[in-house]
Structure 1
Amino acid sequence: MVRQFTDPRELRGLAILSQPGTVIQTGKNVWDVRSQSKDAYYTVARFFPEDRKAKILSQATWTCTCPDFLTRHTTCKHQYAVMLSLKLAGDIEEHSTPAQVEESEPNILCPVCKSENVIKWGIRKTTFGENQRFRCHDCGHRFVIDRGFCRMKNSPKTITLTLDLYFKGVSQRKIADLLKQFEDVSVSQPTILEWIKKYLKLLAKYSEKYKADVGNIWHCDETTVFIKKEGEKKYYQWIWNLMDAKTRYLLACQVSETRYVKDARKPLQKAKEVALNVPDAIVTDGLPAYPEAIKAEYYGLGRIQNPHIRLKDFETKPNNNILGRLNGTFRERTKVVRSFDSGIGAEEFATGMQTYYNYIRPHQGIGGLVPAQLANIPINLTGNRWETMIGLAVK
């Protein structure tokens, strides 16, 4: 059972930390913490035993210049504010070891009668290689396994290369030219668009199959995307991104026309469906919609009753720099598209980017792995990750 913070000093320490400019580090182990009752700061200091090289938080001695600590000699709210600040920064920095992926080949079923009584029945040779054929003992039907590319005139390599280049920011015209030069494959721009729409729709459903084992510090931010709208030159919508700091897993990617409280609650609701646990803290910027939205969705669910932390600036931790990098990845694609229309809408784009970011794109901040690997998603994401994902989605 999740333990609630019941000590009033802990809760007051979180309340201090949630306000900007209240915890300022002035030395290696010295902080100034703003008073809640008057316009003043108290000095919090941390000391370690001289005979120990390892500086462990639980073995440190804390002092504070506030009257509460000087009178009672117990941990005060100002010390709790500093401890929580250090914990948030530490949770953002640390990385978990990815769980061992257990691969299991699913039972092959006859597509007609759904029987498992099937045997191998020769090889089918195609332009793109050889496919194993099967025969059902019960109904006699012969078939090959659909791995997502049946009745496609182009090879899986060509199609998945197209998808990867698209999300790396290459325009459809340049993709067609690249395929012609290096693969000797002639593909039109409408064909590329059809491939993108088809497989984005397929992967969007499959990516919601597993829940992510994420950390306890989440970050939320929003960015703009331009939409073609008749009569308006610059019409844009908002994309809300909610990411786990430890695994870099993108928990939610929602689109809205406004930035009110009802809009801010949508990614928070989605994240609750995707994650296995609730956060201790959700770090946001100063958008007025966040405090009420986070309180409505997460108040009292975790160890900290109100997990909202408003960032102080872009340098002090916790900050939203990791979401700034995510927004840069989004802009790699949107600066080429410039605006979305009926071809690929903003919703489809956001869903596709979420799948690409979680399952396809390796992240330097987590050792070159993809976020799904650290989030213990049981998928073997090696080799051609696009082809792996499409094959699993079809099954």
Structure 2
Amino acid sequence: MSPHTLGLILTYHVNYGLSARKTAALMYDVHGVKISHQTILNYMNSVALITKPFVDHYPYGLSNSFCGDETYIRVKGKWHYLFFFFDAVKKIILSYPVSPNRDTPSAIKALDQVLQKFKEIPEDLMFVVDGNPIYILAQHYFSQHGIHFDIHKVIGLTNEDPVSKEYRPLKQIIERLNRSFKGNYRATTGFGSQEGSVSYVTLFVAYFNFLRPHASLENKVPVMIPELEMMPNMPERWTKLISMAQDFLAEQQAA
């Protein structure tokens, strides 16, 4: 398969949220490329493995205000939880673990993935979450290990307390992110394996952070990379992102 063909598949499947079956049909009907939906899923798993280290270890420039929330996805016919944590100012997804449980260890893992992005944790670091007590318990866990940050809980749908009133706009940002993900995820109707769910979410995050323009950022992508901006279209940007991720992997292995 040519890099451009792979870029087309990623654009249809990830950017536009088409199912693997519809993507396969489109590739044949429009581009004359015959490929099975299972082969597309296999390619997605392979690309996600390559891009995940780049997404997770990119030197993001971050603010000190983050929001987090969980959303549901189906894995092997059962509901799982996707934990998103997000820089509310820079519009960058920093944490996206998938867990069968909505519990304190899952909250700790989600928060830890954000904390790992900092060389030095800001003194005024703040997370806005819902009323689920797992985040307060996770905060206590980190405090016991000498890592301190504030947790602000936005409770319910109405501003019945001062904290909810002040921080609801940040909570609404993460809710919009969840809706964006759901719009892309819906066509998949769930995943047949944990690997498939992680692969799809990883590719969505790569798209969201590096390729997707945001209206709130004056239609710029959250993480602007000149090499990607120079590419003439989205399939070429995907192939360039994969190339950069491969170079990053090679550098990591050589270090």
Q: Scaled by the length of structure 1, what TM-score is found?
A: 0.54
User: SS where residue 292 of structure 1 aligns?
Assistant: helix
Q: Which runs of 4+ in 1 moved over 4 A?
A: 298-302, 312-315
Corresponding letter in the other structure for 1:391 = S
Alpha-carbon distance change, 332 to 293 in structure 1, aligned in 2, over 3 angstroms:
same
Alignment-derived partner of residue 193 in structure 1: 41
Alpha-carbon distance change, 372 to 161 in structure 1, aligned in 2, over 3 angstroms:
same
CA contact (8 A) 1:218 1:243 kept: yes
Alignment-derived partner of residue 134 in structure 2: 289
CA contact (8 A) 1:216 1:281 kept: yes
CA contact (8 A) 1:298 1:307 kept: no
Alignment-derived partner of residue 238 in structure 2: 386
* Alpha-carbon shift at residue 238 of structure 1 (Å): 0.7
Aligned counterparts of 2:167 and 2:217: Cα–Cα separation in 1: 18
Alignment-derived partner of residue 177 in structure 1: 25
Give identity over the alignment, percent. 25
* Alpha-carbon shift at residue 387 of structure 1 (Å): 1.4
Corresponding letter in the other structure for 1:360 = L
CA contact (8 A) 1:359 1:370 kept: yes
CA contact (8 A) 2:56 2:94 kept: no
* Alpha-carbon shift at residue 245 of structure 1 (Å): 0.7
* Alpha-carbon shift at residue 224 of structure 1 (Å): 0.9
User: Deviations for 1:227-269, whole angstroms, at most 9, x for unmatched residues?
Assistant: 225xxxxx21111111011101111001112122121100111
Alignment-derived partner of residue 88 in structure 2: 245
Alpha-carbon distance change, 317 to 209 in structure 1, aligned in 2, over 3 angstroms:
same
Q: Give the one of 338, 341, 346 matched to 2:192.
A: 341
**Greater helix share, structure number:** 2
Q: Scaled by the length of structure 2, what TM-score is found?
A: 0.81
Structure 1, unaligned runs of 5 or more: 1-153, 230-234
User: SS where residue 85 of structure 2 aligns?
Assistant: strand
| Structure 1 vs Structure 2 CA RMSD | 2.4
User: SS where residue 318 of structure 1 aligns?
Assistant: helix
Structure 2, unaligned runs of 5 or more: 160-164, 248-255
Aligned counterparts of 1:253 and 1:298: Cα–Cα separation in 2: 22
Corresponding letter in the other structure for 1:386 = W
Pick which of 342-351 and 385-394 moved more. 342-351
CA contact (8 A) 1:220 1:282 kept: yes
Alpha-carbon distance change, 175 to 215 in structure 1, aligned in 2, over 3 angstroms:
same
Say whether 1:213 aligns with 2:61.
yes
Say whether 1:165 aligns with 2:16.
no
Say whether 1:363 aligns with 2:214.
yes
Aligned counterparts of 2:106 and 2:194: Cα–Cα separation in 1: 25
Aligned counterparts of 1:338 and 1:172: Cα–Cα separation in 2: 11
Aligned counterparts of 1:254 and 1:379: Cα–Cα separation in 2: 29
Aligned counterparts of 2:65 and 2:144: Cα–Cα separation in 1: 15
CA contact (8 A) 2:69 2:84 kept: yes
* Alpha-carbon shift at residue 344 of structure 1 (Å): 4.8
Alignment-derived partner of residue 162 in structure 2: none
Corresponding letter in the other structure for 2:187 = V
**Greater strand share, structure number:** 1
Alignment-derived partner of residue 227 in structure 1: 75
Q: Give the one of 50, 66, 71 matched to 1:202.
A: 50
CA contact (8 A) 1:295 1:308 kept: no
Aligned counterparts of 2:194 and 2:37: Cα–Cα separation in 1: 12
- State the number of aligned residues: 231
Aligned counterparts of 2:133 and 2:57: Cα–Cα separation in 1: 33
Q: Which of the pair has the greater relative contact order for Cα pairs under 8 Å at 6+ separation?
A: 2
